Amino acid sequence: GAGVSQSPSNKVTEKGKDVELRCDPISGHTALYWYRQSLGQGLEFLIYFQGNSAPDKSGLPSDRFSAERTGGSVSTLTIQRTQQEDSAVYLCASSPLGSSSYNEQFFGPGTRLTVL
Amino acid sequence: DQQVKQNSPSLSVQEGRISILNCDYTNSMFDYFLWYKKYPAEGPTFLISISSIKDKNEDGRFTVFLNKSAKHLSLHIVPSQPGDSAVYFCAASAVRVGGKLIFGQGTELSVKP
């Protein structure tokens, strides 16, 4: 079956511009997570959705970052007024069960964002 | 503060031998641990997991060991194959805080023929 998909796969933007990154989770997965991996670093948690609500936004680095999820499916991560330090690979993951159960997360291929 | 640490950035092993990747954590709230494998330009792929009520979980060539008292886990791959060459991340989560994963920095494994 189809896995997690993300678009675009690559995005190059100029400092100060806004960008939107999209994630299509595996159908039926209720939980959706955003992470980012900066050069030479591990994956860093950004935000978590259960259905359309976001009970944990603690990883968003600044108020320039926001995310929403609609219909319990597609999610969009928006970065306003991008800065060079936002350059990273942004990864989306989904999992089939809610936060009350142990289950692995399935990752998409990521969006590589480069801010010039 | 780094709650999950992989202190070896790289590991080189001969094909057929055992690969041992290590991971340490600091937060006692973690109750579920996972290993992911990542190839360049791809997302991480789930390998194996273990809950804190167990000390060992085995799946084919992959075995994960958990030592709760030492807050240490390890992934054993035996026998190692060239196709195992990738970056391996350990991750920890706590159900009570929504299951988000806290990742280590990764260990790049190279299996030489």
Tokens describing residue B8: 């070896």
Confidence category of residue B100, pLDDT binned at 50, 70, 90? confident
Measured torsion, CA atoms of residues A45, A39, A92, B30, in degrees rounded to the nearest 10: -30
What pLDDT score does A98 carry?
A: 57
Confidence category of residue B6, pLDDT binned at 50, 70, 90? very high
The class level of CATH for A5-9+21-98 reads mainly beta
Residue B41 C-alpha, separation from nearest chain A C-alpha, in angstroms: 7
What pLDDT score does A102 carry?
A: 66
Q: Which domains does chain B have, with CATH numbers?
A: 4-112 (2.60.40.10)
Secondary structure of residue A86 in the 3-state scheme: helix
Average pLDDT over residues B6-18: 96
Tokens describing residue B31: 């109750």
**Any B CB within 8 A of A53 CB:** no
- Are B101 and A43 within 8 A, CB to CB? yes
Question: Is A110 in contact with B103 (Cβ distance < 8 A)?
Answer: no
What pLDDT score does A40 carry?
A: 77
Residues of chain A contacting B103 with CB distance shorter than 8 Å? 35, 42-44
Residues of chain A contacting B41 with CB distance shorter than 8 Å? 109
Q: What confidence tens digit (pLDDT) does each residue in A14-33 have?
A: 999 999 999 999 998 989 99
Tokens describing residue A70: 């609609």
Task: From first to last of the 116 residues of chain A, give the pLDDT tens digit.
Answer: 589 999 999 999 999 999 999 999 999 898 999 999 998 788 999 999 988 999 899 999 999 999 999 988 999 999 999 999 999 999 999 988 755 556 788 999 999 999 99
Confidence category of residue B20, pLDDT binned at 50, 70, 90? very high
pLDDT at B95 over 80: no
